[in-house]
Amino acid sequence: MPVAEDLTAPVRERRLAPWRDGRGTGAAAHEHRLLTAARPALPWLNWVGTFAKPLLRVPRLGWITADPLTARAVLNDPEHFTLLSEGGVGHLWAQILGDWVYDLFDGAGHYDLRTRSRELFTEKTSVAFVATAWGDRMTRARASFEAGEPLDVADLSRILVGQMVVTLLGMHVPDATDETYRSIFETGEELAAIALGTTSDTVLPAEKIAKAREIVERLTGHIDASFATASSATVIGRCRDLGLSVRETKGLSTLLMVAGTETAASAMARTAALLFDTGEQNRLIEHPEFTEGAVREALRVTSPAPIIGRSVLADLEIGGRTLRAGERIVVLTWTANNLAGEYRIDRAYIPQNRQLWFGAGRHLCLGGPLARAELTAMVQLLVGDGRPFRVVSREYGKRVLIPAYRSLVVQKVGSRYGR
């Protein structure tokens, strides 16, 4: 299959070298350590990926690609690639949710679901979801941060994402505190770890299936009763209005929980770190009109979902290589996106990469506009008052599925403990 596309803007590639990136105190060094803490092999895989342009075969892993055009060709070709075969996430989910997910995740039902849920997260609805879910908590965080108090952005991100889950799923949590939202976030994390953490062998043991089902029920069980009456301001109500069944709505809600929690929280704290480590926060304060670029660049450089896996369904020629049915291919989104250069808030949109951090094709992230709205709110919290901040301390998350800061404490410069 040809991988032909008009390359309008040639990209000057950045060199990636794990042994060099791991040193120093700059943005690349911190990102390197963060990736290493999450999964020690990740920086090496990312580096090997620089030779996977267009494709490279790696023993035991299968094919890898870090070429944006090849990546999109793979993700846009459901005739030859699937995520449902044994070894893929669909197989894991089927054991937890039931065989019907085969249709909903990649079959005809998926197309139907995506068509009907297209309007779920638009720029407008996403900004509204952020205002509803986060308004009060953000106002409080911003007031104390601007008054000079230290703020753990990683912790706050997990709280906010937990709050977003409650809002989207219309969960009833009376007298909720930060602790309530932290624990909802952790529940999502736990489910993701069971459902996505074992892709080398996708046959789940009975106790893991039971645990995952119990979590899914805890998070989505209320939907049976609330479906008919849920407000259209919630995802449940919107799903109903868009013609989705209760089962589809519960399946989609589970997917939202897993796909949109750790990724979003990871991006939020890493954006804060990047703005400080690169000094780009100063340019952003001078040029707030670059906020959109600051968010897009943060998504590109962090690429919180660093790899996307697929199985080959049928033999095909791609990038001059022959891929055989049953083989695996891993799209290295982090590498493909990072080769395009360092974090610059005024970098123009890169046509080759488009928004590869959200995947591409039929599984392109459904929550992209929501993730952007969430990040925009975080950037405004950090520099919206026109004053810079500094990172006081940081701790990388160890052995986590999605690379993320465990803690990232920031404070306004000029505050008692700031410089």
Query: Contact, 356 vs 72, CB < 8 A?
Result: yes
Which CB, 93 or 227, lies closer to ligand HEM?
Answer: 93
SS3 140: helix
HSE of 187, CA atoms in CB hemisphere, 13 A: 24
DSSP state of 56: E
**Locus of tokens 């065989």:** 99
Is 114 or 142 the residue whose CB approaches ligand HEM more closely? 114
Which residue, 396 or 415, has its beta carbon nearer to ligand HEM?
A: 396
Which of 329, 339 has the CB closer to ligand HEM? Answer: 329
Backbone angle region of 393, left / alpha / beta, with phi > 0 → left and psi within -120 to 50 → alpha: beta
Nearest CB to ligand HEM, comparing residues 371 and 411: 371
Shortest spacing between CB 55 and ligand HEM, in angstroms: 18
- Report, in Å, the least distance between residue 52 CB and ligand HEM: 18
Provide the minimum distance between the beta carbon of 332 and ligand HEM in the complex, in angstroms, as a whole number: 12
Cβ 358 to ligand HEM shortest distance, Å: 5
Q: Which of 184, 166, 104, 98 is nearest to 129 (CA)?
A: 166
The sheet that has 405-412: what strands, in order across it? 151-152, 405-412, 389-396
Give the shortest CB-157-to-ligand HEM separation in angstroms: 11
CB atoms within 10 A of CB 107: 17
47 Cβ partners below 8 Å, 6+ apart?
A: 16, 17, 18, 335
Is the CB of residue 411 less than 8 Å from the CB of residue 417? yes
Q: How far is the CB of 239 from ligand HEM (least distance, A)?
A: 12
Which token pair is 231? 């407000």
CB-wise, 358 or 389, nearer to ligand HEM?
A: 358
Measured from the CB atom, the residue of 114 and 283 that comes closer to ligand HEM is: 114
Residues near ligand HEM, by CB under 6 A: 83, 114, 255-256, 259-260, 263-264, 267, 299, 304-305, 308, 357-359, 363, 365-367, 370-371
Nearest residue to ligand HEM, scored by beta-carbon proximity: 367
Amino acid identity of residue 413, one-letter, is V
How near is the Cβ of 114 to ligand HEM at its closest, in Å? 6
